[in-house]
Chain A
Amino acid sequence: MSIEPAGCRDSGYNFAYLNEQTKKMIRRALLKAVAIPGYQVPFASREMPMPYGWGTGGVQVTASILTPEDVLKVIDQGADDTTNAVSIRKFFRRTAGVATTEATAQATVIQTRHRIPERALGPDQILVYQVPIPEPLRFLEPRETETRKMHAFEDYGLMHVKLYEDISQHGHIATTYAYPVKVEGRYVMDPSPTPKFDNPKMDNCAALQLFGAGREKRIYALPPFTSVVSLDFEDHPFQVQAWEHPCELCGARDSYLDEVIIDDKGGRMFVCSDTDYCASRRMAASEAAE
Chain B
Amino acid sequence: MAAALKPGFSDPSAESARCFRVLLNAMSRPGLVQPITAGLPSAGGLNPASVMIALTLCDHESPVWLDASAGDEAADYIRFHCGAPITADTSAAAFGFFAACPDRHVLNSFAIGSPDYPDASATLVIQVEDLSNGPDGVMLTGPGIETVHRLAATGLPDGFWTWLNTSDRSFPLGIDIILAGPNCLTALPRTVRVEEAA
The residues of B that contact A222 with a CB separation of less than 8 Å are 143
Binds B, one of A30-38, A74-82, A230-238, A239-247: A30-38
Tell me, in angstroms, the Cα distance from A34 to B14 when the chains sit together.
22
User: Are A27 and B116 CB-contacts (below 8 A) given A35-B190, A37-B191, A224-B144?
Assistant: no
User: Are A15 and B13 CB-contacts (below 8 A) given A186-B171, A224-B29, A224-B146?
Assistant: yes
Cross-chain contact B27 with A31 (CB below 8 angstroms): yes
Cross-chain contact A153 with B61 (CB below 8 angstroms): no
User: Are A67 and B18 CB-contacts (below 8 A) given A208-B24, A225-B146?
Assistant: yes
Cross-chain contact B119 with A41 (CB below 8 angstroms): yes
Cross-chain contact B143 with A223 (CB below 8 angstroms): yes
Report if A50 contacts B (CB, 8 A).
no
Binds B, one of A17-25, A113-121, A190-198, A263-271: A17-25
Tell me, in angstroms, the Cα distance from A221 to B191 when the chains sit together.
13
Tell me, in angstroms, the Cα distance from A180 to B176 when the chains sit together.
27
The residues of B that contact A16 with a CB separation of less than 8 Å are 13, 17
Cross-chain contact B145 with A67 (CB below 8 angstroms): no
Q: Nearest-CB distance from A62 to chain B (Å)?
A: 11
Report if B16 contacts A (CB, 8 A).
yes
Report if A14 contacts B (CB, 8 A).
yes
Report if A148 contacts B (CB, 8 A).
yes
A: number of interface residues (CB 8 Å): 45
Question: What 0/1 pattern do residues 136 to 151 of B give for CB contact below 8 A with A?
Answer: 0000000111100000
Cross-chain contact A152 with B115 (CB below 8 angstroms): yes
* B contact patch SS: loop
Cross-chain contact B59 with A226 (CB below 8 angstroms): no
User: Are A37 and B18 CB-contacts (below 8 A) given A20-B13, A186-B172, A223-B28?
Assistant: no
Q: Which of B43-94 contact A (CB under 8 A)?
A: 56-59, 61-62, 94
User: Are A31 and B23 CB-contacts (below 8 A) given A67-B18, A149-B116, A224-B146?
Assistant: yes
Q: Which of B111-143 contact A (CB under 8 A)?
A: 115-119, 121, 123, 143
Cross-chain contact A35 with B189 (CB below 8 angstroms): yes
Q: Which of A193-233 contact B (CB under 8 A)?
A: 206, 208, 221-227
* A contact patch SS: mixed
The residues of B that contact A39 with a CB separation of less than 8 Å are 118-119, 172
Report if B20 contacts A (CB, 8 A).
yes
A29, A152, A223, A226 pick with most chain B CB within 10 angstroms: A223
Cross-chain contact A27 with B119 (CB below 8 angstroms): no
A34: contacting residue among B28, B121, B172, CB under 8 A: B28
Cross-chain contact A68 with B17 (CB below 8 angstroms): yes
What residues make up the interface of B, taking CB atoms closer than 8 Å to A? Answer: 12-14, 16-18, 20-21, 23-24, 27-29, 56-59, 61-62, 94, 115-119, 121, 123, 143-146, 171-172, 176, 189-191
What residues make up the interface of A, taking CB atoms closer than 8 Å to B? Answer: 14-16, 20-21, 23-25, 27-37, 39, 41-42, 64-69, 126, 148-149, 152-153, 184, 186-187, 206, 208, 221-227
25 A-B pairs in the complex with CB atoms less than 8 angstroms apart? A15-B14, A16-B13, A16-B17, A20-B16, A24-B56, A27-B56, A28-B62, A28-B123, A29-B119, A31-B24, A31-B57, A37-B143, A39-B172, A42-B117, A64-B20, A65-B24, A67-B18, A68-B14, A152-B115, A208-B28, A222-B143, A223-B28, A224-B28, A225-B145, A226-B143
